[in-house]
Structure 1
Amino acid sequence: MRKFELIAPCHFGLEAVLKKEIIDLGYDVTLVEDGRITFFGDEEAVSRANVFLRSAERILIKVGSFHAETFEELFQGTRSLPWEEFIPSDGKFWVAKAASVKSKLFSPSDIQSIMKKAMVERLKGVYHVSWFEEDGAPFPVRVFLMKDEVTVGLDTTGESLHKRGYRKLTAKAPIAENLAASLIMLTPWRGDRILVDPFCGSGTFPIEAAMMAASMAPGMNRSFTAEEWPSVVGKRNWYDAVDEAREMVDLQIETDIQGYDIDDAMVSIARENAKLAGVDKLIHFQRRPLSQLSHPKKYGFLITNPPYGERLEEKSALPALYKEIGERYASLDSWSMYLITAYENAERDIGRKADKNRKIYNGMMKTYFYQYMGPKPPRRQNLPDGR
């Protein structure tokens, strides 16, 4: 079975979460950089990483790397890579995305155009043709330039891994599924603990939590670009990965996961998305304003993405909203609260400094993940009969 060097991009600030996921999946991490993890794996690893990783953006097969400060060096470096080991004569290939940081070459369109020409030149010599129909399987390429070092990868995923396939309907400003999953994994929450999202929108936090509780792999119900590359990743690997995922699912578990929203339409959307994800029986969605947030039990978790004033007219309402968040949290007995927001005065208006504060980039937007830690619940004592 072929061995690959694989690259998994992720949200900036969440590299440690993805690194742990990859190690837990059984693979050796070789490099941790801002926004991406590199690890070794075989054909099976390509399919399993796509199906099982919750926090990754996509999985790339590293084709090669080289130094380039001029377009001529970019052309020659690209042409020297072994494209024929991956792309057949009828393959459709293009540079889908180019990103450049602190490099002399910085124009994405020029980088994409020159690399495409170099790939054509290489493959013309290998396949002895002067023209490619490109009517076969797609082979999108992604390239990163960092301080003039060029890293080139083939995108095995296609649509970003945050697209699990369940969210057909969304809120105005939905949180990405992989970001929501990553944030949950940063907390001590487990499936047997209480979780409430008082600003659930289209239901992403509760749905991702329910999928985790049920051991449901995030990619088991979607397709991937590399499924069309049987000469690179054999089809049996995809079947095996999905079979493995299906065997792990446990929908008989008991959960206390709740999502509230003030908008009836959002509650309906969240319910439909949960149904599409197959976890609707594990979540209770309800129309409920923040002012009615309460729970009789101790040691629960608030995990949420409250409004943070994307529109100018909403900003004036934020101090009162965050003050109310603080008040409702204070009324919950021994709970923890985790919230992600770009609102800079969140701690001031909540009325309490967070125990931890983590900077995370949501796309290009700088946000903060405020972590208010409640006490740990007491350990369960064994009963006399050994239970």
Structure 2
Amino acid sequence: MKTYELIAPCHFGLEAVLKREIDDLGYDISKTEDGRVTFVGDMEALCRANVFLRSAERILLKAGSFTARTFDELFECTKALPWEEWIPKDGKVWVTKASTVKSKLYSSSDIQSIMKKAIVERLKSAYHTEVIPETGASYPVRVFAMKDEFTVGIDSTGESLHKRGYRQSTTKAPISETLASALIMLTPWKKDRILVDPFCGSGTFAIEAAMMAANMAPGMNRSFLSESWKNLIPKKTWYDAMDEANDLVDLSVKTDIQGYDIDPSAVRMARENAQRAGVDYMIHLQQRPVSALSHPGKYGFIITNPPYGERLEEKADLPELYRTIGDRFAKLDTWSMYLITSYEDAQNAIGKKADKNRKIYNGMIKTYYYQYIGPKPPRREQRTSEI
């Protein structure tokens, strides 16, 4: 099968997590940039990446890259790409997004309009027709430009990969599924370790962790736009990827994953979402304030997304809230805590400097992932010999 370059965008600051995921799937990485990783693979790789990658936002089939400093150059360079290799005569094509950084061309709407005209002109010439009917499958194009260097990709995913299909109920400040997964993968948490989220909201951390524990592929219960690309991807390729995902699921796994929230409606939403994800039996969800956070087990993990105080009326409550987090964590002396927040004074309020601190953009909000790393548990054979 022919190979292509495939582009996987991700949250800024989490490229290393995505690289590890792609490597684990067995594909060679050709380029890593801020917010995206490019790798080499065939159409099977495109299908498997959509189904299995937890931290990617979408998968793009790279059409090409070029330098353009004027709209004339943009038109000609776009037109020079072999669009007929990917888009059939009746294909519906449009430039759905254009983003630029430090480039002479910065008007997204103008870039979109000019590139669309160039693509249509190329297709009309290739198919020897005066009209491209655009009645067939959809081939949305996404464009990134950095210092006049344009990268062009065709979106194979459709709705972003964070749309797993289970989260129909959300709280007012939910963390995305892709970001939650990436943050869990930045920790040493494994399915045999305790995980507690004391600000569980709609349950995303707990649900993503449970899906990881049961080896459930994040994309196994949703559809993808490129399933209609019959000119490029045989239906069997999609069936094979889904069959692989189903074969890997282990519903017998035993876990200790807990989610608390002071808001009863959030707990109800989390339960509904966990049921839709098929992991409700793996998660204990309960209405409880963070001041009641406790657990009899050792060597557990707190992984959480507490309030940031983005609303002015909430800011005054943050010092006391984060002091409470610090007090409860201090009593769990063998535990680790991983906490994402934009609250700049979080470490002072918690009363302890984080062992590691990672800057991550949660949407347009600059956040910090504070990592308080606890002791490793004794090796299993040592624990057994001590009994």
Shorter-chain TM-score: which interval?
Answer: over 0.9
Alignment TM-score, normalising by the size of structure 1: 0.98
Residue in 2 that maps onto 1:214 = 214
- Residue 49 of structure 2 corresponds to residue 24 of structure 1: no
Superposed displacement of residue 133, structure 1: 2.1
Q: How does 1:299-338 map to 2 (within 5 A)?
A: 299-338=299-338
Partner AA of 2:23 in structure 1 = I
Partner AA of 2:372 in structure 1 = Y
Residue in 2 that maps onto 1:116 = 116
Partner AA of 2:87 in structure 1 = I
CA distance in 2, matches of 1:383, 1:318: 40
Superposed displacement of residue 239, structure 1: 0.5
CA distance in 2, matches of 1:384, 1:67: 62
Superposed displacement of residue 132, structure 1: 2.1
Q: Could you report, residue by residue, the CA deviation over 1:300-330 in whole angstroms, capped at 9, with x for unpaired residues?
A: 0000000011111000000000000000100
Q: How does 1:103-142 map to 2 (within 5 A)?
A: 103-142=103-142
- Residue 271 of structure 2 corresponds to residue 271 of structure 1: yes
CA distance in 2, matches of 1:47, 1:228: 12
Partner AA of 1:19 in structure 2 = K
Q: How does 1:145-224 map to 2 (within 5 A)?
A: 145-224=145-224
Q: Could you report, residue by residue, the CA deviation over 1:105-125 in whole angstroms, capped at 9, with x for unpaired residues?
A: 001000000000001110111
Residue in 2 that maps onto 1:98 = 98
Mark the CA change 1:345 to 1:383 in structure 2 (over 3 Å): closer, same or farther: closer
- Residue 89 of structure 2 corresponds to residue 80 of structure 1: no
Residue in 1 that maps onto 2:228 = 228
CA distance in 2, matches of 1:173, 1:10: 20
What SS does the aligned partner of 1:135 have?
Answer: coil
Q: Contact 1:260 / 1:289 at 8 angstroms: preserved in 2? A: yes
CA distance in 1, matches of 2:66, 2:233: 25
CA distance in 1, matches of 2:330, 2:215: 32
CA distance in 1, matches of 2:179, 2:353: 23
Q: Contact 1:2 / 1:42 at 8 angstroms: preserved in 2? A: yes
Superposed displacement of residue 383, structure 1: 9.2
CA distance in 2, matches of 1:318, 1:10: 29
CA distance in 1, matches of 2:152, 2:205: 33
Mark the CA change 1:298 to 1:74 in structure 2 (over 3 Å): closer, same or farther: same
What SS does the aligned partner of 1:103 have?
Answer: coil
What SS does the aligned partner of 1:208 have?
Answer: helix
Q: Contact 2:203 / 2:271 at 8 angstroms: preserved in 1? A: yes
Superposed displacement of residue 384, structure 1: 9.1
Q: Contact 1:46 / 1:233 at 8 angstroms: preserved in 2? A: no
Partner AA of 1:282 in structure 2 = M
What SS does the aligned partner of 1:12 have?
Answer: coil
Residue in 2 that maps onto 1:364 = 364
CA distance in 1, matches of 2:230, 2:91: 12
CA distance in 2, matches of 1:184, 1:27: 22
Superposed displacement of residue 333, structure 1: 3.0
Supply the RMSD in Å over aligned alpha carbons: 1.1
- Residue 375 of structure 2 corresponds to residue 375 of structure 1: yes
Partner AA of 1:55 in structure 2 = S
Superposed displacement of residue 382, structure 1: 7.0
CA distance in 1, matches of 2:344, 2:384: 52
CA distance in 1, matches of 2:172, 2:135: 38
Superposed displacement of residue 91, structure 1: 0.8
Partner AA of 1:296 in structure 2 = P
CA distance in 1, matches of 2:184, 2:33: 22
How many percent of aligned residue pairs carry the same amino acid? 71
What SS does the aligned partner of 1:266 have?
Answer: helix
CA distance in 2, matches of 1:76, 1:17: 37
Uncovered stretches (5+) of structure 2, i.e. residues with no partner: none
Mark the CA change 1:384 to 1:122 in structure 2 (over 3 Å): closer, same or farther: closer
Alignment TM-score, normalising by the size of structure 2: 0.98
CA distance in 1, matches of 2:333, 2:33: 40
What SS does the aligned partner of 1:381 have?
Answer: helix
Residue in 2 that maps onto 1:289 = 289
Q: Contact 2:123 / 2:132 at 8 angstroms: preserved in 1? A: no
Superposed displacement of residue 130, structure 1: 1.7
Superposed displacement of residue 271, structure 1: 0.5
Mark the CA change 1:267 to 1:383 in structure 2 (over 3 Å): closer, same or farther: closer
Uncovered stretches (5+) of structure 1, i.e. residues with no partner: none
CA distance in 2, matches of 1:218, 1:233: 21
Mark the CA change 1:135 to 1:378 in structure 2 (over 3 Å): closer, same or farther: same
Q: Show structure 1 runs of 4+ deviating over 6 A.
A: 382-385
